[in-house]
Amino acid sequence: MYQTLMFSIITMLLLSACNTKEPIPMDLNEKHLIPKPSKVEATGSSFEITAATTIFYEEGKDDVKGMAQFLADFLQPATGMALAVEATATKPAGGIYLHFSALEGTNETYTLELNENLIDISASGEAGLFYAIQTLRQLLPASIEATSKQDTMWLLPSGKIEDSPNYTYRGAMLDVSRHFFQVQDVKKFIDYISMYKMNKLHLHLSDDQGWRIEIKSWPKLTAIGGSTEVGGGEGGFYTQEEYKDIVAYAKKRQITIIPEIDMPGHTNAALAAYPELNCDNKARELYTGTKVGFSTFCTDKEVVYEFIDDVIRELAAMTTGEYIHIGGDESHVTPLEDYIPFINRVQKIVEKYGKKVIGWDEIAHAELLPNTLVQWWAKADNAKKGIAQGAKVLVSPATKVYLDMQYDSTTHLGLHWAAYIEVDSAYIWNPATMVDGIKRDDIIGVESPLWSETITNLDEIEYMMFPRIIGHAEIGWTEASQQNWEDYRLRLAHQKERMEILGIDFYKSPLVDWD
């Protein structure tokens, strides 16, 4: 009896000694994070996520609880582990701990502190917690992106990361008008840009080739205007319920949807649906080509403003963000003396429904309301006209961030009217020094538009956005002084495995050593 007891005790001691594993040394600086964080201090050890790891959240904070659950849900497929999510009133000794703390910066600022026992995630707001989780994601092996259980150790290097974005507006645009994309594709697009800490998705919801958002008071917009697309395909549109679902999905990933109704030009789909929007009261033919600049609302008809009022009212009611985009680009058949009062009046309609205006750079010809943003895509002089009126600039130069521009002359998709944009060209530029007269303080941020004249499905979206969008995300997030092409191209190469596991069809630029 005594011998059996002694034997059991010795066996238990031996087993527990074996279970107390020495931490595995790891170097946080070798993690090749994108966007590059503000500050990284490596401490040479590691934390292992196991089935016993609990994700703790600060008691009484629903936002923190939501993020803790989001992390648990993210980790589950590849690890095969459903980690416990628990409230705590005090800092735990071990596990993953998410909490708020008053950090200097904005609600996007976060710190991530890892040692052998604890991953401590703090931020002043929900957004910061979300970005800490995106960083944590890149600290894990790329196989964390898999959708089925992977056999690996889930190790993260120890150390401390302090991080905060340079620009508050870091966005992408998807043109769902020239070709229509289903809700599930838009959600994928949201997943992709949120991985790299972008926070705005501008949806180009109307153009000559298609009207893509249900407006209940003007049902023919979608019934007729949404019925085709470039090339004559069947087109499509989002019901208001679907649009709200996209808005909610994006919000959970800290992304604000910016809806655009382009006007007074780029309006053929509406002009085909409602003859009264034309000066001659004749409905236009639906258009499935790719020319621009031929359509315009009849800017001196009252019914046009009644129409816009209804559209903006319904759109504003479904939009949680502060901005509505009114287009304003390439209105080549709208005389400037009609264009200016039109933009002036439409801004007031947007303001009436509690939203602020964004418009393409041409709108700077009008009298801008105090909070209107000018999106510089073509003419720096227009952006400067906006700045002279006190406006901030959203930087989207076609020569640098238009994702529909071809990489080089061999790219089988896209266009090249602005430039060929290789991966280095997309990265090596600074919004705040690109032209004289547009300075850091004039700029709210950066946005990368993907126009879809030649883009018909998610694979093609992925090929044109990846990997350039990753560089644009870094330009928006990371201080310009910390950006360096030689360093970036090494970090970018390390995104390859992650993109492959995610099933992203990306352009393997010869400028990057992917192996």
- Distance from the first to the final alpha carbon of the chain: 62
Return the structure tokens found at 414: 């896209």
Concatenated DSSP letters for 245-265? HHHHHHHHTT-EEEEEEEESS
**Residue with smaller CB distance to ligand ACM, 191 or 330:** 330
Cross-strand pairs, 170: 446
Write down the least CB distance from residue 302 to ligand ACM, Å: 28
**Residue with smaller CB distance to ligand ACM, 158 or 331:** 331
Characterize 157-168 residue by residue with b for buried, 16 or more Cβ atoms within 10 angstroms of its Cβ, and e for exposed. bbbbbbbbbbbe
Return the structure tokens found at 314: 């319904």
**Residue with smaller CB distance to ligand ACM, 74 or 420:** 420
Angle formed at CA 138 by CA 135 and CA 139, multiple of 5 degrees:
90
Cross-strand pairs, 392: 373
In SS3 terms, 134-194 reads as HHHHHHCCHHHHCCCCCCCCEEEEEEEEEECCCCCEEEEEEECCCCCCCHHHHHHHHHHHH
**Is 447 marked active-site?**
no
Residue 330 binding ligand ACM, by CB under 6 A: yes
40 in Cβ contact with 27 (< 8 Å) = no
For ligand ACM, the binding residues in 337-396 under the rule CB under 6 A are: 360, 377
Residue 297 binding ligand ACM, by CB under 6 A: no
Characterize 71-100 residue by residue with b for buried, 16 or more Cβ atoms within 10 angstroms of its Cβ, and e for exposed. bbebbeebbebebebeeeeeeeeebbbbbb
**Residue with smaller CB distance to ligand ACM, 309 or 330:** 330
Residue 507 binding ligand ACM, by CB under 6 A: no
Out of 48, 242, 330, 500, the active site residue is 330
Residue 27 binding ligand ACM, by CB under 6 A: no
**CA 171 centroid distance within chain:** 5
458-465 helix and 183-195 helix, angle to the nearest 10 degrees: 20
Write down the least CB distance from residue 329 to ligand ACM, Å: 4
Write down the least CB distance from residue 447 to ligand ACM, Å: 11
**Residue with smaller CB distance to ligand ACM, 235 or 449:** 449
Q: Which residue has the tokens 């870091």?
A: 170
Q: What share of the chain is helix, strand, coil (3-state, %, to 5)?
A: 40, 20, 40
Number of chain residues interacting with ligand ACM (CB under 6 A): 4
**Residue with smaller CB distance to ligand ACM, 189 or 377:** 377
Query: Which of 208, 214, 329, 462 touches ligand ACM by CB under 6 A?
Result: 329
Residue closest to ligand ACM when measured from CB atoms: 329
Looking at the annotation, which residues are catalytic? Answer: 330
Binding site for ligand ACM (CB under 6 A): 329-330, 360, 377
